[in-house]
């Protein structure tokens, strides 16, 4: 695979929007607005019906363009797509995103024929194609944005290290909007639709060497023939550089597999997907919440060296809940050793509890957290900290986020924060996350997320990648 061709999809110096239109509510109009808003390269508009759209010159066909654009975005009725894609190829366009639907997904003879014609152009000219029937690419760094959902309906997330690949366009846009609302940063998002050419395998290979992508998230329904195996082989290499989180939809068993053998009867599609992911160190998010829960911790926290977790909290109940949740996920929540207890007693008031979970109690303030963290974070038998930081007690201020991030950065150990509540809690959450620490609204979600980090850490350790 030629990486420079995929680069043209994400970071082209010029783009042609084929099917551009001034008519409000049309896909071609949203595309023009998207590209004029953020994209800094050269944008050409193509539509034989117009000579000008929103003040920009519009060309009758791609053949009339003054230069071959590096990327063609095609949003025209399906029957015209094969012809236009061929014209693009002939003038030297190297990559195209076909937004249009009306292909194999319709199940009609015509749709299947049109898709075959598109594939033939790809095979004949070597043009690299995303789609058809997709949202295409949202690239937060280059400004390429073919997600044809208007900004007032689908907010764009801030720049960040998560890249997201989705078989479903609707889910891709929903997740992006959700991430924007939760202030989670995205690098690149791709919805590939019918994957006539580029699929998950090509995309994770590209993202492996992408410097701005730190965590890869995938929404997958199913692989095409033999592509599952190819995916696993590429993923083995990607995992060594950055974590992959997969949400597999279509988990419930369905028929279709001949059940002549026992093994086949027991297998079921989902079991095989799940096993394949685990085998190469891909983290599987089992629920929607886990997608971002896992991404946050893998994006921000260092790897775990062992499974011993210490809990520091201002709320005893949260400490007990956390202990249960962590033990259930296979972590050790060790008793505080006697010498550490002694050290802690020197800085803690008598009513505080130095056992693990270490309860700073309701009269705690930032300083009490700081003093305790400075002692325990550096102990060799502490592999991670989970901090219950309920903001309802009067002694806690925004300085706490600084204190925690400062000590954890020096200790080079992972931390997760539990924070539950309304407006004040949300302010604290924002501050913790601004300082690069993952915040969870329940002990169970924090424990599951830490488990994801642990599994990834141990996978790398097992194969001596780190």
Q: Which of 271, 337, 349, 394 binds another protein (CB under 8 A)?
A: 271
Rounded to 10°, the helix 227-239/443-462 angle is 90
Buried b (16+ CB within 10 A) or exposed e, 276-303: bbeebbbbbbeeeebbbbbbbbbbbbeb
Least distance in angstroms from the C-beta of 196 to another protein: 17
Query: Which of 211, 252, 263, 346 is the binder for another protein (CB under 8 A)?
Result: 263
Count other Cβ atoms within 10 Å, centred on residue 425.
17
Helix 200-208 to helix 227-239 angle, to the nearest 10 degrees?
10
* Range in contact with another protein (rule: CB under 8 A) among 163-171, 275-283, 372-380, 389-397: 275-283
Q: Examine residue 260 and tell whether it contacts another protein (CB under 8 A).
A: yes
Site string for another protein, 437-466 (x = CB under 8 A): -------------------------x----
* Contact between 328 and another protein per CB under 8 A: no
The yes or no reply on residue 261 touching another protein (CB under 8 A) is: yes
Task: Number of residues interacting with another protein: please give it, by CB under 8 A.
Answer: 24
CB of 286 to another protein, least distance (A): 16
| DSSP string over 416-429 | EEE---SHHHHHHH
Tokens of 124: 């004949």
Residue placing its CB nearer to another protein in the complex, 267 or 353: 267
Q: Collapsing DSSP states into helix, strand and coil, what is residue 400?
A: helix
The pair of three-digit structure tokens given for residue 381, joined into one six-digit string: 């038998």
Q: Is 221 in the site for another protein (CB under 8 A)?
A: no
Nearer to another protein, 284 or 366 (CB): 284
The helix/strand count (H/E) of the chain reads as 16, 18
Give yes or no for residue 250 binding another protein (CB under 8 A).
no
State in angstroms the smallest separation of the CB of 105 from another protein: 19
For the CA atoms of the chain, what is the radius of gyration?
A: 26
Residue with tokens 């937004």: 99
Minimum distance, C-beta of residue 118 to another protein, in the bound complex (Å): 22
* Nearest alpha-carbon partner for 100 in 117, 176, 92: 117
Q: Which residue stretches of 352-396 are H helix?
A: 366-376
Closest approach, Cβ 23 to another protein, in A, equals: 41
Closest to another protein by CB, 205 vs 248, is 248
Interface with another protein (CB under 8 A): 222-229, 232, 258, 260-264, 266-267, 271-272, 274-276, 279, 462
């Amino acid at each position: 695979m030629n990486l420079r061709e995929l680069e043209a999809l994400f970071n082209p110096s010029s783009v042609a929007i084929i099917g551009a239109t001034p008519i409000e509510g049309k896909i071609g109009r949203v595309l023009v607005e998207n590209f004029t808003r953020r994209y800094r390269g050269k944008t050409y508009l193509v539509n034989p019906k117009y000579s000008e759209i929103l003040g920009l010159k519009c060309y009758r066909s791609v053949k009339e363009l003054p230069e071959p654009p590096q990327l063609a975005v095609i949003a025209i009725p399906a029957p015209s797509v094969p012809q236009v894609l061929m014209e693009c190829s002939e003038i030297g366009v190297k990559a195209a995103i076909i937004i249009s639907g009306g292909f194999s997904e319709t199940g009609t003879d015509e749709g299947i024929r049109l898709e075959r014609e598109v594939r033939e152009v790809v095979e004949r000219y070597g043009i690299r194609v995303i789609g058809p029937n997709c949202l295409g690419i949202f690239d937060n760094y280059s400004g390429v944005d073919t997600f044809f959902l208007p900004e007032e309906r689908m907010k764009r997330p801030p720049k960040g290290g998560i890249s997201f690949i989705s078989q479903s366009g609707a889910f891709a846009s929903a997740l992006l909007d959700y991430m924007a609302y939760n202030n989670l940063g995205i690098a690149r998002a791709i919805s590939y639709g019918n994957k006539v050419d580029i699929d998950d395998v090509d995309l994770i290979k590209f993202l492996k060497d992408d410097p701005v992508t730190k965590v890869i998230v995938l929404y997958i329904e199913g692989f095409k023939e033999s592509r599952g195996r190819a995916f696993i082989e590429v993923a083995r290499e990607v995992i060594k550089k950055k974590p992959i989180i997969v949400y597999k939809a279509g988990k419930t068993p369905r028929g279709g597999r001949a059940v002549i053998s026992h093994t086949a009867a027991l297998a079921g599609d989902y079991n095989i997907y799940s096993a394949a992911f685990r085998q190469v160190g891909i983290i599987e998010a089992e629920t929607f919440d886990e997608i971002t829960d896992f991404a946050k911790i893998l994006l921000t926290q260092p790897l775990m060296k062992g499974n011993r977790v210490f809990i520091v909290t201002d709320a005893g109940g949260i400490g007990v809940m956390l202990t249960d949740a962590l033990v259930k996920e296979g972590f050790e929540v060790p008793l505080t050793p006697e010498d550490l207890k002694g050290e802690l007693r020197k800085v803690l008031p008598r009513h505080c509890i130095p056992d693990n979970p270490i309860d700073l109690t309701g009269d705690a303030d930032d300083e009490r957290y700081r003093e305790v963290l400075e002692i325990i974070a550096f102990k060799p038998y502490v592999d991670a900290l989970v901090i219950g930081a309920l903001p309802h007690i009067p002694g806690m201020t925004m300085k706490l986020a600084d204190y925690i991030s400062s000590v954890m950065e020096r200790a080079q150990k992972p931390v997760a924060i539990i924070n539950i509540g309304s407006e004040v809690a949300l302010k604290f959450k924002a501050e913790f996350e601004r300082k690069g620490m993952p915040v969870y609204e329940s002990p169970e979600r924090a424990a599951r997320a830490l488990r994801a980090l642990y599994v990834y850490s141990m996978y790398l350790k097992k194969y001596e990648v780190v």
